[in-house]
Amino acid sequence: MDYKKTLNLPSTKFAMKANLPQREPEQLKQWDEKKIYDKLREQAKDRPLFILHDGPPYANGHLHMGHAINKILKDIIVRSRQMAGFNAPYVPGWDCHGLPIEHNVDKQLGSKKKQMTPVQVRQACRKYAAKFVDIQRDEFKRFGVAGQWETPYLTMNSAYEARIAKECGEFALAGDMFLGKKPIYWCCSCQTALAEAEIEYHDHTSPSIHVKFALKDDLSDLIPDIGDTPVSMVIWTTTPWTIPANLGVCIHPRFEYAAVKTRDHGVLIMAKALVENVMQTFGMDDYQVVAKLNPLDLENKKCLHPIYDTDSLIILGDHVTLDAGTGCVHTAPGHGADDHVVGKKYGLDCYSPVEDNGVFSSDVPLFAGEFIFKANTHINEVLEEKGALLKNRQLSHSYPHCWRCKNPVIYRATPQWFISMDKLGLRQKTLEQINHVQWIPSWGKERIYAMIENRPDWCLSRQRSWGVPIPVFHCSECKEVYVTRESVDKIHALFSEHSSDIWFEKEAAELMPDHAVCAKCGSKHFTKDHNILDVWFDSGVSHAAVLTEFPGLRRPADMYLEGSDQHRGWFHSSLLTAVGRTGKAPYKTVLTHGFVVDEKGHKMSKSVGNVVAPESVIKQYGADVLRLWAASADYRGDVSISNNIIKQLSDAYRRIRNTCRFMLGNFSDFDVTKDARPVADMGELDRFILHRLYQVTKKAVNAYDTYEFHTIYHALHNFCVVDLSAFYLDIIKDRLYTSPPASPERRDA
């Protein structure tokens, strides 16, 4: 007798092996062919909206694990909100302007670029960006991310560029935007201004020098028995190249200062609290504090510049600290933010004798034409020759670098466009709006609050080609800025039809309203502004260009979700532009995830060899395993990944899948409409497992609502492996296999 035929053996079309790398592309193809995303939109059109607004990745290069966890987390949220009864559209986007693309195009063009017009170069940049939009779109879709992929938003599309120009114009009309000369971050390699968000900090070795500034004014009434002994202020700096631009020495108005008599260097003035440390640095133990000085008595005294025959004014400033140095700060108003602010109070010139490429201008005696960093050595030699150099060492410290070329940057005063943080109260309004946003994790609120509270005015202008031009004009006669309601509206219309390329194709008169006249001098002749906008402004106005323009979306978005670095990036620029234009934050909730690191918590690096690429995981295990990794991680901190971690998750995926397959096999002859039995009539064990299922389901639903996806993974995995496989399913196998097919005990199982 064939006893096998007497058993109720499992039967299912659900394959034994997942074979995800082979099966997933077919599934994605079916989604496209059946237009699943469009059907979901139609099905949910009458539901309440849930808008997760996509922060645009940069259209340059292939995707990495940071992209993967970001897009997968977004997809999990969008899908879960859709399943929870919302209409949750997802419109992906790309950031397409900016320096990285322009640099790569420059490399491709080589010497040909010299023969090309600005528009031709821009067209090459546009083509390059479009190529990587297509590449990244396919890679994102391979992650299993559902969305409006065929009509995404691109910051280089004509309509988007037009909205960028309009938003910029509105800031100008409102009076928030101004043209000013003040020190900003400047990259000498890229030859452009940089915003805070475009700065990276890396270790850098700089000269660390102490320099004497000899007093010109007589201090005999402050320092008794001084006689003919020379008196000097002592400064410390790690930027010797700024000494030629020095105009002052700043001291703190509430610190006590000391006159220190030395054997070889006369009397040195420094903060009293730092005397011991400074003299130890100099290797001097034969010294004497001969007087204590009130900084108010030193204010407006004059020193002699240590190199040139010019004055250096002693001024007061609260930014001086006792953390390092001497308590006397070398002040070059053209090369430091604090220097500029305090120098302005004392009428000091914003002097910045450095060209775009980082060389000293021709009017700098001794150092004209020298590259500033290379000139450090020469400057120190001159200081030593003049007897002004007290100490010269090397210091390794964290220093700002350009995000693109990775070279050290400088502070340099140049004419730039700024959005004022305080003129019309933008800072205070923004700080108030932060309180109306839910921040996940909660520390995000304090982080962005501190950034807004302490940030300088926003430098909007860039000296490059690939971007949206600042839509203002300048009078050819008196240089007055021309921007009116009519000019803003006309530029918006022209950019909408022709893209911002038209700015580079037409003369000012063709872009301006008819009969435009300078309000100051009456001239009818104008020139175009030659700056482009910071790309953070481009992406920062997506709330206007996308949420208010795309069908089916709205402002504010329910959620912005990006990496924690975006508190100084997209979250930041979006908040400022939205509050500046509407008075309201563009989002209700901001969720941030950490960075992807290796299993030891180290940053992934090709040189170290610890990089795990998304395509390699997908090729070996499939996108579902990659998605399980993203879902299993507590993304609120940094997220670890390695081949070993992926292998463990692949095993977990297999266990969950095998549990599902076993259950599907035993459902082959079960029709829930006919065969289901009342729970009250079931046995105790069956009721227990249904109760556990209820608990897991409730926990999962709550976790989806609070975006704690790792909780769901652990609960589901534990339920499948422990409650089901190791306990319940093992116990009921006899019932499933040997009981009569329609018997109550088998139907209960």
SS3 state at 145: coil
Amino acid sitting at position 397: H
Q: Exposure string (b/e) for 160-188, b if CB count within 10 Å is 16 or more?
A: bbbbbbbbbbbbbeeebbbbeebbbbbbb
SS3 state at 182: strand
Q: What is the mean pLDDT of residues 342-362?
A: 93
| Residue 667 pLDDT | 78
Q: What is the mean pLDDT of residues 571-578?
A: 98
Identify the band that residue 285 occupies on the pLDDT scale cut at 50, 70 and 90: confident
Residues present in the chain in total:
749
Residue 288 CA to residue 285 CA, distance in Å, equals: 9
| 685 vs 748, higher pLDDT | 685
Q: What is the pTM of this model?
A: 0.86
pLDDT of residue 589 exceeding 90: yes
The beta strands (E) that lie in 569-651 are given as: 587-593, 596-597, 639-640
By percentage, how much of the chain surpasses pLDDT 70?
Answer: 99
Domain spans of the chain, in order of start: 196-411, 669-748
| Residue 432 pLDDT | 98
Asked if 221 and 390 count as a contact pair (C-beta separation under 8 A), the reply is: no
| DSSP code for 682 | S
Asked if 641 and 598 count as a contact pair (C-beta separation under 8 A), the reply is: yes
Asked if 145 and 75 count as a contact pair (C-beta separation under 8 A), the reply is: yes
pLDDT of residue 215 exceeding 70: yes
Asked if 352 and 212 count as a contact pair (C-beta separation under 8 A), the reply is: no
Amino acid sitting at position 316: L
| Residue 263 pLDDT | 87
| Residue 14 pLDDT | 78
Give 585-597 as a 3 state SS string: CCEEEEEEECCEE
Q: Which value, to the nearest 10 degrees, does the dihedral of the CA atoms of residues 232, 238, 243, 246 take?
A: -80
Q: What are the tens digits of pLDDT across the range 611-634?
A: 899 999 999 999 999 999 999 999
492 burial class (0-12, 13-18, 19+ CB within 10 angstroms)?
buried
* Cα-Cα end-to-end distance for the chain: 28
Phi, psi of 339 (to 5 degrees): -60, -40
| Residue 657 pLDDT | 93
Mean pLDDT of the chain: 92
Residue 251 CA to residue 215 CA, distance in Å, equals: 14
Identify the band that residue 445 occupies on the pLDDT scale cut at 50, 70 and 90: very high
CATH superfamily, domain at 196-411: Valyl/Leucyl/Isoleucyl-tRNA synthetase, editing domain (3.90.740.10)
pLDDT of residue 2 exceeding 70: no
Q: How many CB atoms lie within 10 A of CB 560?
A: 27
SS3 state at 418: strand
What tokens does 120 get? 């031709």
Q: Which value, to the nearest 10 degrees, does the dihedral of the CA atoms of residues 622, 626, 629, 631 take?
A: -110
The least confident of 32-36, 401-405, 534-538 is 401-405
The least confident of 148-157, 386-395, 669-678 is 669-678
Q: How far is CA 594 from the centre of its chain?
A: 13
| Residue 680 pLDDT | 80
Residue 328 CA to residue 513 CA, distance in Å, equals: 54
pLDDT of residue 428 exceeding 60: yes
Identify the band that residue 522 occupies on the pLDDT scale cut at 50, 70 and 90: very high
Please give the CATH topology (third level) of the domain spanning 669-748: Isoleucyl-tRNA Synthetase; Domain 1 (1.10.730)
pLDDT of residue 663 exceeding 60: yes
Q: What are the tens digits of pLDDT across the range 679-694?
A: 788 889 999 989 999 9
Asked if 320 and 399 count as a contact pair (C-beta separation under 8 A), the reply is: no
Identify the band that residue 713 occupies on the pLDDT scale cut at 50, 70 and 90: very high
Which residue(s) pair with 101 in the sheet? Answer: none
Q: Which helix (H) or strand (E) holds 34?
A: none
Identify the band that residue 337 occupies on the pLDDT scale cut at 50, 70 and 90: confident
Sheet holding 526-528, edge to edge: 481-482, 473-475, 526-528
Q: Which helix (H) or strand (E) holds 166?
A: helix 158-174
Identify the band that residue 1 occupies on the pLDDT scale cut at 50, 70 and 90: low
Q: What is the mean pLDDT of residues 461-478?
A: 95
